[in-house]
Amino acid sequence: MAALTEEQSILKDQATSWVEAELPVQKFREFRNANSDGGFDPKAWSAMVDMGWTGILVPEAYGGSDLGYLTFGVILEQLGRQLCASPLFASAYVGASAINLGGSDEQKQQWLPAIVDGSEILTLAVDEQPRHQRDAIACAAKASDGGFVLSGAKTFVPEGMSATAFVVAAKSDAGDVELFLVPANTTGVSRSGMATVDNRDYARVTLSDVAVPAESHLGAMSGGELYEQVLNRACAGVAMEMLGVGCFSFEMTLDYLKTRKQFGKVIGSFQALGHRAAELYSAQEMARSCAEAGVIAIDNDADDQAAMSALSKAKTGEFLFDMSNQLIQIHGGIGMTDDYDAGFYLKRARALEALYGNQALHRDRYATLLGF
């Protein structure tokens, strides 16, 4: 476990107590059962804004606190533990990262304070296939009359129905993947909600000859480099949320092993189940080391941050896949019922594993980046 500063420890304690009191998984169940629109609780989102979480990655000059990626990762882990639905990751983590890295001073002045106060919700629109493929970008950005015309479609866009603006990945005339800020109400932009197993806000977004000004282009960094760096940060952030989902799944399982009795004994006393718990704990600690290494590498601007991002997503994915399976298997029949929370964790696990690339993709990325 990474050594946290005093400030990070205070934020972690704040996040833990607030999430457990205000957004426990039971709240998510109630939200799902009510078939509520919007994908998240507006009151909870407002509270996150008030606590300053939306400004963690934003420089102080634009109204943020600039506390770094490990600090944000600590928050994401706590949200993952209770399956909290919010636009925090999509907007204040990924969206803010894109603007911090690629935005001009004017773009930062326009968008970053709005991210901090929650008046704008940004999200990255990148995937066009059922599975994430970084190089499979067909959405086109054609130069036209001092601006660009965007044409294409995106799928599985996180917080896609709630977002007020999209950071769209599109190929320029030169063949590079560039990022563009596109308000959701721009003429030619349409979206439709998607039903997913984890009951979150995803959308299909279609761009039909969408005309945007030159000022919409995030051009402070070369397009291909910006695209890669934003995705690296996104993967490292997802890994921290996955860690939270997996750790709480382990705690649920361990509690069950200590309380469920069979043949007059608690089932955790059976050697086979004890060994299984020990293996899962070891995998959990390995996943934590890799997940934290991913965000720390970004904070340190390390040369290997791309590799660490891939490693964090791959190893937390492996742990979460096995842990969520064991969560169901060890709980037996009750684990299969909707009355128990285990199914929620399994479904969220599968969605997060696929987001921005699954384990196989990132194992291959990691090996390639290391020269194998």
Q: What does the pLDDT read at residue 37? A: 62
> Could you tell me if 194 and 63 lie in one domain?
no
For residues 258-276, average pLDDT: 81
Residue 77, helix vs strand vs coil: helix
> Could you tell me if 15 and 97 lie in one domain?
yes
Percent of the residues in the chain that have a pLDDT greater than 70, as a whole number: 98
> Could you tell me if 362 and 235 lie in one domain?
yes
For residues 138-154, average pLDDT: 95
In this structure, is residue 244 part of a structural domain? yes
Instruction: State CA 241 to chain mean position distance.
Output: 7
Q: What does the pLDDT read at residue 36? A: 66
For residues 178-192, average pLDDT: 97
> Could you tell me if 34 and 104 lie in one domain?
yes
Percent of the residues in the chain that have a pLDDT greater than 90, as a whole number: 84
In this structure, is residue 151 part of a structural domain? yes
> Could you tell me if 227 and 359 lie in one domain?
yes
**Domain containing 241 — which CATH number?**
1.20.140.10
Domain boundary among 120, 136, 165: 120
Question: Domain range holding 156?
Answer: 123-216
Nearest to 139 by CA among 174, 105, 168, 160: 168
Cα–Cα distance for residue pair 363/314, rounded to 1 Å: 6
**Domain containing 31 — which CATH number?**
1.10.540.10
pLDDT surpassing 80 at residue 38: no
Q: What confidence category does residue 272 fall into, taking pLDDT thresholds of 50, 70 and 90? A: confident
**Domain containing 195 — which CATH number?**
2.40.110.10
147 forms beta bridges with 144, 213
H helix or E strand, kind and range, residue 152: strand 147-158
166 close to 205: Cβ distance less than 8 angstroms: yes
Instruction: State CA 150 to chain mean position distance.
Output: 25
For residues 21-34, average pLDDT: 90
* Residue 69 CB partners (closer than 8 Å, separation 6+): 57, 233, 236, 237, 295, 296, 298, 299
> Could you tell me if 141 and 235 lie in one domain?
no
> Could you tell me if 101 and 141 lie in one domain?
no
* pLDDT tens digits, 52-98: 999 999 999 999 999 999 999 999 999 999 999 999 999 999 999 99
How would you write 135-150 as a 3-class SS string? CCCCCEEEEECCEEEE
Domain boundary among 185, 216, 247: 216
* Residue 74 CB partners (closer than 8 Å, separation 6+): 4, 8, 11, 12, 15, 240
Which pTM was predicted? 0.95
Cα–Cα distance for residue pair 8/76, rounded to 1 Å: 13
Q: What does the pLDDT read at residue 123? A: 98
In this structure, is residue 65 part of a structural domain? yes
> Could you tell me if 234 and 210 lie in one domain?
no
In this structure, is residue 1 part of a structural domain? no
> Could you tell me if 157 and 292 lie in one domain?
no
In this structure, is residue 75 part of a structural domain? yes
Domain boundary among 173, 197, 216: 216
Cα–Cα distance for residue pair 137/147, rounded to 1 Å: 20
DSSP-derived secondary structure for 193-258: EE--TT---EEEEEEEEEEEEGGGB--SS-HHHHHHHHHHHHHHHHHHHHHHHHHHHHHHHHHHHH
Q: What does the pLDDT read at residue 334? A: 83
Cα–Cα distance for residue pair 43/266, rounded to 1 Å: 42
> Could you tell me if 244 and 343 lie in one domain?
yes
Q: What confidence category does residue 189 fall into, taking pLDDT thresholds of 50, 70 and 90? A: very high
167 close to 197: Cβ distance less than 8 angstroms: no
> Could you tell me if 227 and 315 lie in one domain?
yes
Which of 6-20, 83-97, 129-143, 332-346 is predicted with the least confidence, judged by mean pLDDT?
332-346
For the record, the structure tokens of 173 come out as 């005339």
How would you write 287-335 as a 3-class SS string? HHHHHHHHHHHHHCCCCCHHHHHHHHHHHHHHHHHHHHHHHHHHHHHHH
* pLDDT tens digits, 300-345: 999 999 999 999 999 999 999 999 999 999 988 888 888 889 999 9
In this structure, is residue 305 part of a structural domain? yes
Which of 31-40, 121-130, 288-297 is predicted with the least confidence, judged by mean pLDDT?
31-40
> Could you tell me if 321 and 275 lie in one domain?
yes
CA dihedral angle for residue 76, residue 244, residue 352, residue 185, rounded to 10 degrees: -20
Q: What is the mean pLDDT of the chain?
A: 94
In this structure, is residue 327 part of a structural domain? yes
Per the structure, how many domains does the chain have?
3
In this structure, is residue 256 part of a structural domain? yes
